[in-house]
Structure 1
Amino acid sequence: MAHDDTQRHSRRQFIKQSAAVATALSFPMIARAAPPLIRYATAGVVGPGELETVITSDWFKANVLKRHGKEYVIETTTARGTPGVATLLAAEQADIGTLAFTSLATAVAQDAIPGGVTAIAEIHRDAVQGYASNPFVVLADSPVRTIADLKGKSVAVNAFNGSVDIILRIALQKHGLDPRKDVRVVEMPFGNIGPALRQKRIDVGVLAMPFQVDEAKKGGIRTVFDAVGVVPPYPVLFQSARSRFLTEKSAAVRAWLADYVDAQRWIYDPANRKQVVALTADLAKTPAASLDEYFLTPKDFYRDPNATISAASLQPPIDAMAQLGLLPKPVRIAANVDASYLPRRA
């Protein structure tokens, strides 16, 4: 009898369990909500010039960015310089992008981005003593020794009204020269400036990374000046977001920036250097040995460990733009800078 009772109990348990499974299967599976998408627009200088292009690479997404795929998903697109990034933000085709002070100030002055734009994290900084800057160079036998000697000379920059062009104009004004009348400023890609200088098609040219390293190794050139001493330290490139997106997806932005700061620290860890150089060299299509000579060293640009950005560091070069007549009106940038989305430790 006891055996029969046990069998009946087992049958009842089996029936209950089967019913529970059947009930569960009769309802559709409830899918977990996908993490918010962040559309990120880079300015087109892959690798050492824009560290965020390394951090948003597939390898970093899979191996370093702990929150990616859980709290946010980031997809990148490449624009032609920071003005192109500003255009994508204005068209709401990007949510966050890499800007320079020139493109940010212009977008703010023209009210070009619906709902506004906010700088949220620094990428790298210029004019920091002891670190790289973009030097204006001449041939070793050039008569040009000082900024004042630039009068009547031709000077090459990568883009009119770009950040290095603004630094040039500020330097000229400080030394009593009229940027519009006293020098001939010409525009050419960074990679063409060194050869043009050696062919004597220009008198002076600005060299960005990695071209300044490559040209220095060839010899026969010298630096006249760079941004150090011309302007206070300022962010060359920084992350900016559509202000509406910050309001709508603040948690995703905070998660991305937490990953960004963590990834930057991982990159600067000496234990990871060999792997970082190899990955970056592959992305930038440049020899790893050449990159290893300067990348992430004092020969490179300064990067704040916490990616901190401030209105105080952006305001002086923006004021210079207004004084040079490059903005339709003065811009007070404090309302467009917000570092609070960075991790608290920053």
Structure 2
Amino acid sequence: MTIKRLNEDRRRFLKTGAAATAALSFPMIARAAPPTIRYASAGVVGPGELETVIFSDWFKANVLKRHGKEYVIETTTARGTPGVATLLAAEQADLGTLAFTSFATVIATDAVPGGVKAIAEIHRDAVKGYASNPFVVLNDSPIRRIEDLKGKSVAVNAFNGSVDIILRIALQQHGLDPKKDVRVVEMPFGNIGPALRQKRIDCGVLAMPFQVDEAKRGGIRTVFDAVGVVPPYPVLFQSARAKFLQAQPQAVRAWLADYVDAQHWIYNPANRSKVVELTADLAKTPAKSLDEYFLTNKDFYRDPNATISAASIQPPVDAMSRLGLLPKPVSVAPYVDASYLPKRA
């Protein structure tokens, strides 16, 4: 065989091998895994945090059309929003559920490397015509007005939590010193109703679904709630590490597009029975009881487009500062970014 023939065969082999390698490489690129979003939930299921239902396997398979294609979401449960803040600060979560209290504290203390942004609302309090967290007493209680709480005991679920802040704001507005004039005690939401009926406390706040259960039992009345105490504000909202937003903007946009689509699906009357069924299972609540209020005006208000603004978060944060609960005043505007939501939102 001539040297010329050998060179031709060698060139043909190399060309064929290169083509085969290229053909194999394209499927590998197409099969590249979508970015993973590590999401830390605050641990409230069903009525308190609708995204817990959206995170369910059924929703991932049937409603979240971009999941598995443009992003994959992995969830973990923290112990309340302070626990979520800790995971974000440790860079062990990329997105998570925060309340205005934990959000303001994270900002004031520079706890999250690179900063944190609020990107989508979950649910709102103090909206007239919708549910709020009521501070209730027994029907035979002498407490009729906020001023009557002087010298009394009031139960909240967590010191410096959102309902505790609302209580302190209301007391100040009515001339009472939250530290001296009222004895504030801490106990789980589920224990507050029984403690009130046993007269171990004089007043207590009831969250969903406990306020519905206690109202059905009767014998209690509302003294006040957040409506009229503060402007409507987000109780819980989705927040993200700024570094992750910079690194994976398209994945976050895909997730929020699915989240908004899921909310529209959830509020479609044709899907109500399925949503109630799934939520009842997750919340370990009888579907019949849940159906009485869930996703109605007896429930918290939820913006179907998850819109969020600095103007809605700032008032309760300012109240925290006035109450001495922050090391310094906080302006939230630089830390709120609604641009990752779908354009229609």
Q: How does 1:25-36 map to 2 (within 5 A)?
A: 28=24, 30-31=27-28, 32-36=31-35
- CA-to-aligned-CA distance 1:158-180 (integer Å, 9 cap, x gap): 00000000000000000000000
Q: How does 1:1-346 map to 2 (within 5 A)?
A: 24=20, 28=24, 30-31=27-28, 32-346=31-345
Shift of 1:23: 6.8
Shift of 1:33: 1.4
Aligned-partner residue type, residue 98 of structure 1? T
Specify whether residues 140 and 111 from structure 1 end up closer, same or farther in structure 2 by C-alpha distance, changes over 3 A only. same
- CA-to-aligned-CA distance 1:11-58 (integer Å, 9 cap, x gap): xxxxxxxx9899748975542211000000000011111001000111
Inter-partner Cα distance in structure 2 for 1:163 and 1:284: 21
5+ long unaligned stretches in structure 2 = 1-14
Specify whether residues 311 and 22 from structure 1 end up closer, same or farther in structure 2 by C-alpha distance, changes over 3 A only. closer
Inter-partner Cα distance in structure 2 for 1:111 and 1:22: 52
Aligned-partner residue type, residue 171 of structure 1? A
Q: TM-score with structure 2 length normalisation?
A: 0.93
Aligned-partner residue type, residue 253 of structure 1? V
Equivalent residue of 1:48, what SS? helix
Inter-partner Cα distance in structure 1 for 2:159 and 2:107: 19
Percent identical residues:
84
Specify whether residues 27 and 144 from structure 1 end up closer, same or farther in structure 2 by C-alpha distance, changes over 3 A only. same
Specify whether residues 259 and 151 from structure 1 end up closer, same or farther in structure 2 by C-alpha distance, changes over 3 A only. same
Which residue of structure 2 lines up, in the alignment, with residue 4 of structure 1? none
Name which of structure 1's ranges 23-32 and 325-334 shifts more when overlaid on structure 2: 23-32
Inter-partner Cα distance in structure 1 for 2:20 and 2:242: 43
- CA-to-aligned-CA distance 1:171-201 (integer Å, 9 cap, x gap): 0000000000000000000000000000000
Equivalent residue of 2:155, what SS? strand
Aligned-partner residue type, residue 146 of structure 2? I
Inter-partner Cα distance in structure 2 for 1:75 and 1:33: 18
Aligned-partner residue type, residue 335 of structure 2? N
Q: TM-score with structure 1 length normalisation?
A: 0.93
Specify whether residues 26 and 255 from structure 1 end up closer, same or farther in structure 2 by C-alpha distance, changes over 3 A only. closer
Which residue of structure 2 lines up, in the alignment, with residue 6 of structure 1? none
Inter-partner Cα distance in structure 1 for 2:165 and 2:54: 29
Aligned-partner residue type, residue 196 of structure 2? L
Inter-partner Cα distance in structure 2 for 1:298 and 1:119: 26
Equivalent residue of 2:121, what SS? strand
Inter-partner Cα distance in structure 1 for 2:19 and 2:120: 50
- CA-to-aligned-CA distance 1:249-301 (integer Å, 9 cap, x gap): 00000000000000000000000000100000001111000100000000000
Inter-partner Cα distance in structure 1 for 2:328 and 2:240: 22
Shift of 1:135: 0.1
- CA-to-aligned-CA distance 1:196-218 (integer Å, 9 cap, x gap): 00000000000000000000000
Equivalent residue of 2:38, what SS? strand
Inter-partner Cα distance in structure 2 for 1:195 and 1:203: 12
Q: How many aligned positions are there?
A: 328
Inter-partner Cα distance in structure 2 for 1:41 and 1:75: 9
Aligned-partner residue type, residue 235 of structure 2? V
Q: What is the alpha-carbon root mean square deviation over aligned residues?
A: 1.5
Inter-partner Cα distance in structure 2 for 1:106 and 1:51: 24
